[in-house]
Structure 1
Amino acid sequence: MCGTESRTQLPLASSASGCSCCSTQDSAVPSATPGTSAVEFAVDGLTCGHCVQTVEKAVSSLEGVESASVELVPGGRSRLLVGGRANEAAVREAVTAAGYTFAAN
């Protein structure tokens, strides 16, 4: 079967949209636990899966936060969903302390 293989080309993240170690296709999709409300925030400056993990870990450690998930938009405004009783000022501080820009919706 030499030469008859069919290979699929996978899209790579463009260098203009951040690093190429991850793709927006593989980014975490936010989900709220049934019965709890989630508050949505906008975050700028995230470019890869490591950025997502950093923000999720920082926000998850806050008192009253039950869940934190980020929908990555490399080079754009990513969406942060926080479940539980999230204090907006504390979320803002956690995001900025992690090195990213918090933007109110």
Structure 2
Amino acid sequence: MCGTESRKELPLVSAASGCSCCSKEAAKEVTVAGDAEYALEGLTCGHCVQTVEKAVTAVAGVDAASVVLVPGGRSRLVISGAVAEAELRDAVVSAGYSLATR
């Protein structure tokens, strides 16, 4: 590409744990600070929205949570605060729904 190519070498990890950017080790300690958005699956009505919002706001570190409902599609969860993604996922799953894979 125009004779100037720059590449950054990334560390290699074993195939058993995945690539270095999404290996299980890297995903364990993800903490969200500030506003963050997630995709939700399985929501169909306003009651679903209230259930997820209530479950997520109960997680320590979450200041606020709101859901934008898309019936039959991927709804959006917007949170503010500082929370580990695993705790957020657990709250959504315990409410009967799931965070969509990225």
Q: TM-score, normalised by structure 1?
A: 0.63
Query: Does 1:87 pair with 2:84?
Result: yes
Aligned residues: 70
**Higher CA-based Rg:** 2
Q: Distance in 2 between matches of 1:65 and 1:56?
A: 11
Q: Which runs of 4+ in 1 moved over 6 A?
A: none
Structure 1 vs Structure 2 CA RMSD = 1.2
Q: Deviations over 1:65-99 (max 9, x none)?
A: 00000000001000001100021000100001110
1:51 pairs, out of 48, 53, 73, with: 48
Distance apart, 1:44 and its partner CA: 0.3
Q: TM-score, normalised by structure 2?
A: 0.65
Give the % identical residues. 59
Contact 1:40/1:79 (CA < 8 Å) preserved in 2? yes
